[in-house]
Structure 1
Amino acid sequence: MRSRIAICLATSLLAAGDAPPTLRITGAIAGGTVGFDLEALRSLPQAGLETSTVVTDGTHLFTGFLMRDLLEKVEARGETVTATALNEYIVDIPISDFHNYDVVVAYEMDGKPLERADKGPLWIVYPRDDHSELQDIRFDYRWVWQLSGLEVR
């Protein structure tokens, strides 16, 4: 019941014409279209992930929430998520990734908020150092920085 209330609140914020949401979710979810601001996303159970990336030096600590927790919250029903970035980058990601791996949607790196000018405010991050199969270029394409939208299909 609590998740439905949060979905209704997020939807009403989107409809009220306030600032655009940080993340918009559409498609096969409860409520049709949901918008979350950063504060609402930070209220999800927090997850941390220490890993390297192909676009930064060394290992970093990413803080955010698990993608599967977000999909559960919006009652996603589908097999694919199409992720869209602010720079209009688009990629399809199998929902099975989010059940097989602890994929984090990060809003902080090394304790500092991700800024739009540097991969923020949201970045899909895979635990690549924990699973050798994630060090494949097919998974690198799924690391969406400046994440702004998800469509569940």
Structure 2
Amino acid sequence: MVSQRMMRHVPWLAGTAFLLLAASMPSVALEAPDGPAVLTVSGQISVTNQADEAVFDHAMLEALGRHTTITSTPWHDEALHFTGPLARAVLQAVGAEEAQTVIAVAINGYEVEIPVEDFYIYDVIFATHANDTPMSVREHGPVFVIYPFDSDSSLHQETIYARSAWQVTRLLVDVD
């Protein structure tokens, strides 16, 4: 026979059991992309939608929030309005909160290691649009790593310029 005292604790026990079970289960997967893949994130991530990767189309990246940075770059004649999700929002979406570095990989094989702390110190975006127009491969798309160069003069250095990869299609996440 179950006592009244035990009955009062059953909801608490059930809730605790649910939390323990949920904590031991794999993370919830992202929805599959409806459109063409724009960015694939792999490595040490806990949220995926395809094998061990998180694949994003334009709509999925846009759903992470549109952040606009107006800045000049060494590769353009004038300041442009770059729009895309904050880099840290993408890492959060794939469950990579413990990440230490990200390797951005471009279509041509260019790879650059970016310390994740940059994404939290600066509003680095994974730009998909320039002046409200989707960036084609010819125009540095589909993803261009953009630092807010005009907001901080310390960003005007070769190391940061090298991290501003364009034509990025893949990110490799590492926690070491």
TM-score (norm 1): 0.87
Measure, in 2, the Cα distance between the counterparts of 1:69 and 1:19. 20
- Verify: 1:29 aligned to 2:50, yes or no: no
- Three-state SS of the structure 2 residue aligned to 1:149 is strand
CA drift of 1:152 comes to 0.6
- Three-state SS of the structure 2 residue aligned to 1:144 is coil
- Three-state SS of the structure 1 residue aligned to 2:127 is strand
- The structure, 1 or 2, with the larger RCO (C-alpha pairs under 8 Å, 6+ apart) is 1
* Partner in structure 2 of residue 144 of structure 1: 165
Counterpart amino acid of 1:129? D
Could you report, residue by residue, the CA deviation over 1:48-85 in whole angstroms, capped at 9, with x for unpaired residues? 00000011111111111100011111110220000001
Identity of aligned residues (%): 35
Counterpart amino acid of 1:33? E
Could you report, residue by residue, the CA deviation over 1:14-36 in whole angstroms, capped at 9, with x for unpaired residues? xxxx8762111011111431111
Q: Aligned runs of 1:40-55 on 2, under 5 Å? A: 40-55=60-75
Residue of 74, 98, 106 corresponding to 2:94? 74
- State the structure with more CA Rg: 2
CA drift of 1:8 comes to 3.3
* Partner in structure 1 of residue 11 of structure 2: none
Measure, in 2, the Cα distance between the counterparts of 1:66 and 1:19. 21
Residue of 156, 160, 169 corresponding to 1:135? 156
Unaligned runs of 5+ in 2: 1-26
* Partner in structure 1 of residue 147 of structure 2: 126
- Point out 4+ residue stretches in structure 1 off by more than 4 angstroms: none
Measure, in 2, the Cα distance between the counterparts of 1:57 and 1:19. 32
Counterpart amino acid of 1:72? Q
TM-score (norm 2): 0.76
On the 8 A contact 2:145/2:165 being kept in 1, the answer is yes
- Three-state SS of the structure 1 residue aligned to 2:108 is coil
Measure, in 1, the Cα distance between the counterparts of 2:30 and 2:152. 37
